Structure 1
Amino acid sequence: MRSLRGRAGWRALVVAAEDLSTLYRTGSDETRMQDVLYAGLFGDAAGAVVVSAVEAAGAGDLVVEDVWELVLPDSSGAYWGVIHEGGVTFDSGREATTAPGRVLPYLTGWLEGRAVDWAAVHPGGPGIISGTLTGLGLDEEKAGQHARESLAGGNLGGVALLDVLSRTMADSAAEGPGVAVAFGPGFTAAGLYLRVV
């Protein structure tokens, strides 16, 4: 989105694709319960969206008003990925359950003073969905429906947020200002402040 600023009429194709079911492999001969859980959770997916820089948005357009990124301080023991000969292994420590909650003060600080009427949350797990929505002051049941439906099909990795956003827009569940929030290894977080015109 930043690369389109000041370039009216330009378009960018944003593509995300992950083949996690064939890439995910344990890093050793010993299979742990955590490895079984991660292998069962991940799904394969691809998604794309065209982002346009326009002078004025039309009715029903989704406008990106601001972007935010964070590498959570002191979070290297939360969740990480390791690339090895056999593929990719994901692992997490005790911090993984608290890291999304630790992101919330940074996220709400970025959003301070701005209305948030809806949210599309990366469906990394039920706790991430409910914790993020509660932290944003949104109704967890109503605002989390599309994230939970997406998660029911498996964690789609980097494509998951596009899936949740697509479901939200297709259902006309987004009106006015909102936010899209994603989490990842590292522990990282990213957000888009959005508005439906």
Structure 2
Amino acid sequence: MPRSGAEARRRLQQAALDLYREHGFDQTTTAEIAARAGVNERTFFRHFPDKREVLFDGEAGLRATLTQAVTEAPDDLQPLDVLLGAFRKAERILEDNRSFAEPRMQVIAETPALRERDLAKSAALTDAVADALRQRGVADRLAVLAAKTGWAVFHQAVQAWIDDPSQTLDAQLLQAFADLHTLSAPTTNLNPESRAPIAP
């Protein structure tokens, strides 16, 4: 039996992930998750409102990390550079928990109900980041565009990190933002294999 609330919470998250991988999300009940974690079902609902939310426990911490980093960034940074710094701080949450993050992403990708919740969470996080940029004086339309673009780049970096364990998430994130700057450069070479300009 878990001895603390934090331990019970971690065990419930791991139990849910394991059962979703073994039997599928739709076929798994909260009672089964609780039993696998060694607690009763009432304990599950003390920690999580439903069996989808059990895989999204880190959202509040991620939101706080991102918005605080945006708020505290130096005044002379451009919005995308502010976001790169913010995501570099947030990436540690995933780096420290890769063994959970990787299968979690797979389960979400395979489960419509979880994909729907993931999209809603992503939209809420994007809105929070955009609001933090507005508070820095970034115009509304630019704040929204930067937040959506930055979030897309972050997701691409995370997927690249999952696909290639030899590279750190930080390296993937730096590369993804460098690629974004390449795309927006006045003269863009889209051939990564060559430094020479692409012939017209």
TM-score for both structures, normalised by structure 2: 0.27
Instruction: Compare relative contact order (CA 8 Å, sep 6+) and give the higher one, 1 or 2.
Output: 1
| Structure (1/2) with the larger helix percentage | 2
Higher strand share: 1
- Rg larger in structure: 2
